Amino acid sequence: MTAAPSPATPLMSSRRVSVIGALLVAIGPVSMAIYTPAMTEIVQAFGVTESAVKMTLTLYFGGFALAQLIAGPLSDALGRRPIIITFMGIYCAASLFALFAPTIEALMAARFFQGVGASAGVAISRALVRDLFKGEESSRIMNLIGIILALGPALAPTLGGLLLSWSGWRSTFVAMLFMGLAIIATAIFALRETVVADRSRLNIRSLGGTYLMLLRHRHFMATAMVMSGALGALYAQATFLPFILMDTIGLTPAQFGLGMLMQSGFFFASSLTVRFLMRRVPAYRLVAPGLGFILLGSLGTLTLAFGALGFLHVMIPVAVYAIGIAFIMPAMSTAALAPFGREAGSAASMMGFLQMGSGLLIGSLGAMMGDATLAMALLIPLMGATACVAYLIHRSHPHLTEPEPRVLIPVPRT
């Protein structure tokens, strides 16, 4: 299958692609963020342990991570629109099941399939951008997606806390159901197909070969691991922060939701700053400063292992880490997918799997440790170090494509 030919005027404007892409990307983290304030109440509602309720989040991560490996290649073979609609249908059905879940086991199953349904958003949104745009234009769209994306997770914990106060934990799944239906309507009425369907690509052996190629591709793996160490930390933090802020520090669910604005608010403001800076410097030049913020946030998080905890002690390092993510995301997202056209969906899926998988791994390790504060203090800095090391590897090896203009220095005549 080949991407649809690029006409003089793209099939969709950059603004439309940015909005649709942001909606698709946001459904995953919003479904996580709107749910986390309810976790402590669910413990009481079902009369189960915290570990059992944490498992609902872990299974959501697992479904999200694994299903991406299917969603992207399916969209390469069958088209972006039908796969978005199908997976969002799964998400809506799972949200309805969660709404009426009679037991914690049923809720676990529902959350797993919610993750499966939401997984298509990350892979297909990035593939849409790669289908239509390249280079700095692609980086600008990735940045705009990040700006819009920040609004969802910024408001979701607050909305979740308010819904919890007004109507109980089940009302969060009503909100998720309506979000899924809204994305299905957007895919039907606003999204144009960007690839030509080719059912011959529905071949497990061919897909396995593509993923093996990606795992051996030094440029892809280095850039994808930069993203995994950065964005994966957001998913890992989501498993730690509810218990640190509500159980240890003593915030109410509504206060927790408002407190999380510090993370997403700084990400939003930083994304706006990056958009301004990209008018003057290439996106790629912002990666190193972004990693500096990630390293600083990691060092701040490490201090959680020492002394008494307070809200700002926890959230300032989280906010600084979020600033770094905003700086690196546009260029690294573009760089990771740049060498791939025909395999854009598969590459986006693998990148998303690595990001979510790293968050799932670190979150699971933290759950095994039993102490959420100690787990966050030790494991989040490890993810920040991973992002920095991966970038150094990326810079030290020749790579196929990068969104950094090559400056030609004239050689004086002799």
What does the pLDDT look like over 212-243, one tens digit per residue? 999 998 889 999 999 999 988 987 888 888 88
Domains in the chain (CATH in brackets) are 14-193+209-396 (1.20.1250.20)
Four-point Cα dihedral 140, 282, 136, 1, nearest 10:
-110
Euclidean distance between CA atoms 41 and 164, whole angstroms: 9
Euclidean distance between CA atoms 17 and 145, whole angstroms: 9
Euclidean distance between CA atoms 312 and 97, whole angstroms: 38
268-283 burial: b if 16+ Cβ within 10 Å, else e? bbbbeebbebbeeebb
CB 366 within 8 A of CB 375: yes
Task: With residue 192 as reference, give the H or E element that holds it.
Answer: none
Euclidean distance between CA atoms 235 and 357, whole angstroms: 9
Euclidean distance between CA atoms 32 and 152, whole angstroms: 11
Give residue 31's Cα distance to chain centre: 12
Residue whose entry in the numeric block shows the structure tokens 């913020």: 293
Q: Does residue 3 register a pLDDT over 50?
A: no
Number of separate helices (H) and strands (E) present in the chain: 15, 0
| Phi, then psi, of 12 in degrees rounded to 5 | -135, 150
Mean pLDDT over each residue of the chain, to the nearest integer: 84
**Distance set, CA 390 to CA 130, 221, 255, 394 (Å):** 23, 8, 36, 6
Task: With residue 97 as reference, give the H or E element that holds it.
Answer: helix 80-99
For residue 257, what pLDDT band results from cuts at 50, 70 and 90? confident
Contacts of 55 (CB under 8 A, 6+ apart): 108
For residue 291, what pLDDT band results from cuts at 50, 70 and 90? very high
Q: Does residue 351 register a pLDDT over 80?
A: yes
As beta bridge partners, residue 195 has 3
Euclidean distance between CA atoms 113 and 91, whole angstroms: 7
For residue 5, what pLDDT band results from cuts at 50, 70 and 90? very low
3-class SS of residue 38: helix
Four-point Cα dihedral 317, 319, 323, 326, nearest 10:
130
Amino acid at 25: V
Euclidean distance between CA atoms 211 and 220, whole angstroms: 11
pLDDT tens track for 155-175: 776 777 778 778 888 888 999
pLDDT tens track for 51-99: 788 788 888 888 888 888 888 888 888 889 999 999 999 999 999 999 9
Euclidean distance between CA atoms 402 and 329, whole angstroms: 14
∠ at Cα 323 (350, 131), nearest 5°?
Answer: 35
Structure tokens at 109: 């199953």
Burial grade of 258 (CB within 10 A; 0-12, 13-18, 19 or more) = middle
